[in-house]
Structure 1
Amino acid sequence: MINSPIEGFIFVHCPSVDGRFIRANEILKFKEEENMSKEKIKVTSAEIIVTCKPKKNPYYEIKYLEVGKDEYIIGYGSYDLGIVNNWYNNYFEIVTEELTPAERIRRLEEKKATLELQIKNQEKYNKIRKIGDDFALAVKALQDSGFSRDEAMQIFIVSNASIMIPPFSKR
């Protein structure tokens, strides 16, 4: 290893024809012994995310939420998953927030309300989808009987107007 021209980075002399320097396992932000002495970042959640452009290698980063903050931070990135995994294991400490019972109840009620809304929206979607599926099948059957597409659609709509209109008028 050679002292880096950039402070804090580790380079290895490459046995290439032109004698260039290459990075060892990506450019490391700090020397290993300095990192080990630092206190871990306390987070409430952390995960490794992957981004990839077409015809490029995947790039791994850590998305984390520091204790007491509202916005996620994305950092500690590399093309080498092993390095990112090492950073995840060695530099982050996942802690649980100490919540009062009232705060826990409030958060659970918010989650419950969100889930109930999702279920209600899914039920509406399923009803509308069923009507659409019925419409497509009926039109296809009428077309198979010899009607044109437009005639088949008009016949279906007129014969099922009382069924089709109410779900759409409740928006």
Structure 2
Amino acid sequence: MDRAMTNVNFQLHCDNFGRLVLTDAEGQRHEGVTPVRAFPIAAPDEGLSLINFEGHEVGWVERIADLPPAIRDVIESDLRSRDFVPEIARISEVSSFACPSTWQVETDRGAAELRLKGEEDIRRLSQTRLLIADANGIQFLVRDLSKLDKQSRKLLDRFL
């Protein structure tokens, strides 16, 4: 059964197959819609484009928090199923201070191992925020350097 949800500029519902369907203000129906964050790391809750299966934007959401709860839940569920950016809470061990090196880290999703190919794979997003790309293409986020424990900051400083 379809679950209908309404926003000022469009209607959005999830069909029987779990696909998002958007009906715009003119009544045009767009099936297989995918929500895409404009700024997934810097501002994940602001700027969300709704893209149809052909890659065209069919809707825009300024702030996810402003959506009605039912629409917000469906969109956030879809985003969670596709977004995978573990947040590093602690760096337990680094195999070497020369690259490539293997890191043992604790993330918000559990323990993980990442392989750093080079120091250029650590990207500073702001004074306190880093994005670390491992050799397998997984992006790890350090949301706030100042919140890492002393040992983690000391290990990380060797690469910055």
TM-score range, shorter chain: under 0.3
Larger Rg, first or second structure (1 or 2): 1
Which structure is higher in strand share?
Answer: 2
